[in-house]
Every structure is written in structure tokens, then in C-alpha cells.
A and B are shown apart, each in its own frame.
Chain A
Amino acid sequence: MTSSLTLRAALVSVLFLAAFLGLWHLATSVSGPAADLDPEYAKLVGATASQGTSAMPGPGPVIAKIWSHITNPFYDNGPNDKGVGIQLAYSIARVLIGYLLAVAVAIPIGFLIGMSPLMSKALDPFIQVLKPISPLAWMPLALYTIKDSNLSAIFVIFICAVWPMLINTAFGVSAVREEWLNVARTLEVGTLRRAFTIILPAAAPTILTGMRISIGIAWLVIVAAEMLVGGTGIGYFVWNEWNNLSITNVITAIFLIGLIGMVLDQLLARAARMVTFPE
């Protein structure tokens, strides 16, 4: 029953994909009236004006482009022409560094907030004000204080990833069942051992949920951050290709951003399943 459901769902997915590609192809294949131009001038104004074809590519050229990027991801022809693999590697590295810093900060502080009602109340106003700030609003401040665009991008990732983890850790820790804590108390378990053997495993599913939300947000934010700081990264690549008016490359990048985001999310989902316990 489940396997046949999976099979049917896969079939419907393929149908949707085919319909989407078909519509896309139809929408981009119509061409307007071709202007009668001097061939030299036509070269200058480009295909849109001279032949009436759209700058929006059809699925064929995009798939070909994706394939060419996948087969040759790591070429480096100078600052404005690097392989998409290199750009993605820069982005992933920035996300991971900022994200791991956020983990290192958010989980201990979340523990503190979750275990201490005083800290919870005292820090709550700060968290409530800082949490809704768009991470990119920090960018000028980061650039001014850190004076390094690369580190500023990492800081922006850190600041956007920290809140969901902090809030989820604090919630998970404060919601550990009283009866499990009572078990630890009747067994005279010390504070540190209790934190690692009772609270951490009990709160782990909630913490991992926060980590999963954070990695998603970090991956959303890195594209915008790299558009601002420039130089390297998939966000810079998208903006650079927009300046080149290579819509094909922009669409390729969009597709790859989605793919990597899905992989990151699935990794965290798998980790979450590992620490989830049935009751």
C-alpha cells in the first residue's frame, strides 16, 4: 500500500514536472516581429530587439547550462568567472562557520535560560527585540566594526541562525518532564551529569528542530548577504550573472541553491530523527 502510494506520487510528480517544462517551453518559444536592422547594429542591441526572441531562455538551454556547470564545476578564469562549484563552496563554508558559531553560543545560553527562570525573564526583552531584526540590517554595522566583508557575511549568518536555536533550546530545556528530573533527584545525580544525561537527551528533539530551522534561514540569508558583500559565493554569482544578463545562469543558480538547501535540511532532519525517542 505504501509502496504503491510512493509510486503513484512519483508518477504525479513526473507529470507535474513535464507539464511545467512544457508550459515553460511554450511560453519562451514565441517570438515577436523581427526588426529590419543593419547586421552590425543588430549585434549591438542583442537578440531581443533584433530577432524578437525573449532573453528568457527555454528549458532546453537551461538544462544544457546546468549540465555544463555540473560537468565542470571548479574552473577558475579570474574573479568574474569562477565555476559554480567554487561559488557554492564559498557559500557553504560561510554558512557552516556562522552556523557553528551560532550553535556554540545558542545552545549553552539556551540551556541557561531554560534552567533559570530568572535568566529567562531577564533576557526575554533582549531576545524579543533582537529576534525580529532582519539579519541584513546588521550588515553596515558589521562592515564598519569588523572591517572585513567576508567576516561580516559570516556574522550575518551567525546572527540569523542564533535565534531559532536559542529559543528552541530554552523551550526544550524548560519543558523537560518533572518526573524525569525527579528520577535524577532521587538518584542524587549532580547538576552536570543531570544536564548531560537527562536534560540534553530529553530536549534534543526540540533543539534539533531549532537547528533545522536555523540552517534553513542561514541558507536563505547567505544569498542576499553575498549579493551585498560581493566577490565570491553563490549570491554574488547570481548578481554577477544578472549584470551579464545571463538569465540562463541565474536560473541555474536558483536551481542549485534550492538543491543545496534541500540537502542541508535533510541532513538536519536525519540528525533529528536520530535523537528522537518514541514514547
Chain B
Amino acid sequence: MTEKFISIEGISRTYPAPGGGVMTVFENLWLSMQRGEFVCIIGHSGCGKTTVLNILAGLDVPSSGTVIVDGQAIEGPSLDRAVIFQSHALLPWRTVMGNVSYAVSSKWRSWSAAEVRDHAQKFIDLVGLTGSEHKRPAELSGGMKQRVGIARALSIEPKIMLMDEPFSALDALTRGTLQDEVRRICLETGQTAFMITHDVDEAIYLADKIVLMTNGPGAVLAEVVANPLPKNRVRTEVHRHPLFYAVRNHIIDFLITRSKTFVNEVKSYDPRNVPVVTPGLPEPSLARGDAEAPARRVANHSH
């Protein structure tokens, strides 16, 4: 519980505002993740989710604060942290095999061509693209392209997977199967994953914890929703679970109203101890002091 595999420590991001002064996207952000945890972050567009992910990836630097991964502060991108891009970001002049083996040969530079190919093939098989190795991205459907992106990210055997709305451009059916694949792979390999999504159902199905971010500018992490659904949940059944709608409604209520009003309403907000809530019983605000429900409200995250 106290092991912090990833620790975001007081990061902020500011930009010079057009008319002078500074525009604060977010400031003093604290969050920690354990090894093997799947965390989704939800918030409206423009709240800085992608910036947080880019900072985790090392593609962007925070204006202040640090991020510590596995005991080391992030200093730029690393092969330990794989990114699955929203736009899949495949190299269009390379084949499926070429795209995956480019990543493999970047990680293991001394490997022979045969070793690289065998390793890449394993991950192409894993995402179900066997037989499409020699196709170019332009010949693939959106779902297949994103599968290549997933295979490329997994092939370097990263410590962390960072996903920026990986399925948002896909149709519902493809999205569902890819969610299954990602969940299966993450559970099997004990992968730590951080994912941005706008899809509440996706977050509930995939995530162990769902981080709710308020609207920017000046966005904060309002709550961490601990997912009360059982670990062995199945996508086709998950919406029938008795707690599903409690979680879903909690998140949607947040997105509709509280994401705007949170900063003004909650006076005792401590950015270093983002409250962890487990929906399923009365709202935490109502349950405060309610003798029947103390167990449901998990104590503040211990830092």
C-alpha cells in the first residue's frame, strides 16, 4: 500500500499568457501509483491530462515539481515507459513488422536481425495481427493500426504503459475488443498502466483507480475513485454489477457539475492528500459522520 512505484510530486505547468502574465494549466499536483496498478484519468478537454501524461513520458517537462518512477526522477523519455499515442503514430513508410521491430531494435541494440524479428513477431501475434506483418499502416483499419501501436509499446517490455485516449478514434465494437486485449495483457504481465480517457465505462472496466481532474485552467486532482468492482470483471457483464451505476453516476455527476465547482466549494482541499472515495454507498459528503458508512470512505491516501 505504501510502495510508490510512480510518484508525481507537486508538478505544475504554466505558459506565458498572450497578454502578459502566466496561464496555469495545473499546479501542485500530487499522485502516486503502485506497481501493477491500472489508473485512468478523467476530466474535460483542456484540463491538462495530456500534459500530465507527456510529463510522465518525459516528452514534456513540468514548470515545477518532479516525477519519480521506481526511485528515480524522470529526466526525459525512457524505454522503461512506453507510450500508446491517440493517433497511433505509426511510421507510414514501415510495415507492421517494421514498426514493431524499430522499437525492438531501439531497446536491444546489439540484437541480430533474426532476434529482433522473432521478438517483434511474438508481440504481433499477441495483439492478433499474425499474417499482417508485411502490410503498411495505410492498408490497415483504425483498430488494426492501434493494435500495432499496442504491440510496439509492449514489445519493449516497459515498466509502465502510458496511453493517451488510445481507443477514442475507434468504433464501439473494435474499442470493446481492444479494451479486452489491453486488460488481459496488463493482468497477465502485471503491467503498470496510466491511461487518459473520456469514456466513463471504459475507465470503470479497465481501471483499478480513476482519477478525477477538475476543469482548467488551474486544474486540480479532485478525487481518486477506487474501483469497487471485482478484479475478474468481464466487459459484457460489468454493467450488471450492483455497484456499477453507483460508480458511473458518481463520475458522471463529477463531470457534469462538480468538475466546475469543486475548486470553489471544497475549502479544505489538500493537494498532497487527494481524497480516495469508493462509490456504492451514500455520497461521501452526506456520509460524513454517518456511523453506518465509515468503512466505505477509505482514509486519505497516506503519503
B15: CB under 8 A from chain A? no
Q: Chain A interface: which of B99-107, B126-134, B243-251?
A: B99-107
Contact bitstring B46-62, A, C-beta under 8 A = 1, else 0:
00000000000111000
A182 to B162, CA, bound (A): 13
**Chain B 35-89 residues near chain A, CB threshold 8 A:** 57-59, 76-79, 81-83, 85, 87, 89
In the bound complex, what is the Cα–Cα distance between A279 and B79 (angstroms)?
Answer: 27
Q: Hey, which chain A residues are within 8 Å of B103, CB to CB?
A: 187
The reply to whether the CB of A40 lies closer than 8 angstroms to some CB of chain B is no
Q: Which 8 pairs of residues, A with B, have the shortest CB-CB distance?
A: A278-B138, A187-B106, A179-B89, A277-B93, A185-B77, A277-B92, A186-B77, A201-B93
Q: How far is the CB of A174 from chain B (nearest CB, A)?
A: 18
The 0/1 profile, CB within 8 Å of B marked 1, for residues 145-171 of chain A is 000000000000000000000000000
Decide yes or no: A279 and B87 within 8 Å by CB, A186-B59, A187-B107, A189-B106 being known contacts.
Answer: no
A183 touches B (CB below 8 Å): yes
Tell whether, in the assembled complex, residue B156 and residue A201 are in contact, meaning their CB atoms are under 8 Å apart.
no
A188-B77 contact in complex given A179-B85, A182-B83, A197-B102, C-beta closer than 8 Å: yes
* Chain B residue contacts of A278, Cβ below 8 A: 92, 136, 138
Min Cβ gap A258→B in Å is 34
Would you give the 0/1 interface string for A184-196, flagging 1 where the beta carbon is closer than 8 Å to chain B? 0111110000000
Q: Which of B58, B92, B136, B138 contacts A186 (CB 8 A)?
A: B58
A197: nearest chain-B partner, CB-CB:
B102
Q: Answer whether residue B287 sits at the interface, using C-beta atoms and an 8 A cutoff.
A: no
Total A-B pairs in contact (CB under 8 Å)?
54
- Is B91 located at the chain interface by the 8 A CB criterion? yes
CB proximity of A271 to chain B, nearest CB, Å: 15
Whether A183 pairs with B79 at a CB distance below 8 angstroms is no
A sample of 6 inter-chain contacts (CB < 8 A) reads A179-B85, A183-B85, A185-B76, A202-B91, A277-B92, A277-B93
Is A198 part of the contact surface with B, judged by Cβ < 8 Å?
yes
A180 at the interface (CB under 8 A from B): yes
Task: Report chain B residues within 8 Å CB of A180.
Answer: 89, 91
Q: Which of chain A's residues have a CB closer than 8 A to the CB of B76? A: 185
Which residues in B have their C-beta under 8 angstroms from that of A202?
91, 93
**Bound complex: CA A201 to CA B98 (Å):** 13
Residues of B within 8 A of A188 (CB): 77-79, 106
Task: Report whether over half of chain B's contact residues are helix, strand or loop; otherwise say mixed.
Answer: loop
A18 to chain B, nearest CB (A): 43
A183 to B77, CA, bound (A): 10
A182 touching B85 by the CB < 8 A rule?
Answer: yes
**For chain A residues 256-279, which have a beta carbon within 8 Å of chain B?**
275, 277-279
Are B59 and A185 within 8 A (Cβ)? yes
Across the interface, name the chain B residue whose C-beta is closest to A189: B106
Instruction: Quote the shortest CB–CB distance from B191 to chain A (angstroms).
Output: 16
A279 to B139 CA separation, bound complex (whole angstroms): 9
The CA of A197 and the CA of B109, in the complex, are separated in Å by 14
**Smallest CB separation, B185 vs chain A (Å):** 19
By beta carbon, the residue of chain B nearest A193 is B106
Chain B residues near A201 (CB-CB < 8 A): 91, 93
Please, which residues of chain B bring their CB within 8 A of the CB of A182? 59, 83, 85, 89
Pick from B82, B87, B102, B136 the residue with the most CB of A within 10 Å. B102
CB distance from A39 to the nearest CB of B (A): 74
Residues of A within 8 Å of B79, CB to CB, are 186-188
Q: Are B91 and A198 in contact (CB under 8 A)?
A: yes
Of listed A182, A187, A197, A278, residue having the most chain B CB within 10 A: A187
Q: How far is the CA of A201 from the CA of B102 in the complex (A)?
A: 14
Residue of A nearest to B153 (CB): A186
Point out the residues of chain A lying under 8 angstroms from B106, CB to CB: 187-189
B144 to chain A minimum Cβ distance, whole angstroms, is 15
Minimal beta-carbon separation of A61 from chain B (angstroms): 52
With most chain B CB atoms within 10 A of its CB, the pick from A183, A185, A197, A198 is A183
CB within 8 Å of A: which of B186-207?
A: none
Cα(A2)–Cα(B225), bound, Å:
60
Chain A residues near B57 (CB-CB < 8 A): 186
CA distance A26 to B93 in the complex (A): 55
Nearest-Cβ distance from residue B269 to partner chain A, whole angstroms = 33
Q: How far is the CA of A188 from the CA of B76 in the complex (A)?
A: 9
Of residues 117 through 143 on chain B, the ones whose CB sits less than 8 Å from some CB of chain A are 136-138
Give bound CA distance, A188 to B93, whole Å. 20
Q: Which chain B positions have C-beta within 8 A of A275?
A: 93
Q: How far is B43's CA from A132's CA once the two chains are assembled, in angstroms?
A: 53
| Least CB separation from B104: chain A residue | A187
Which of A182, A188, A189 neighbours the largest number of chain B CB atoms within 10 Å of its CB? A188
Nearest-CB distance from A272 to chain B (Å)?
13
Contact B138 A277 (CB under 8 A): yes
Bound: A251/B59 CA distance, A: 62
B19 CB, min distance to chain A CBs, angstroms = 24
B82 x A186 contact (CB < 8 A): yes
Residue of A nearest to B162 (CB): A186
Residue of A nearest to B91 (CB): A180
Given A188-B79, A279-B138: A183 in contact with B59 (beta carbons within 8 A): no
B134-173 CB contacts (< 8 Å) to partner A: 136-138, 156
Known contacts A197-B102, A277-B138, A278-B138; is-contact A186 B93 (Cβ 8 Å) = no
Residues of B within 8 A of A187 (CB): 77, 79, 102-103, 106-107, 156
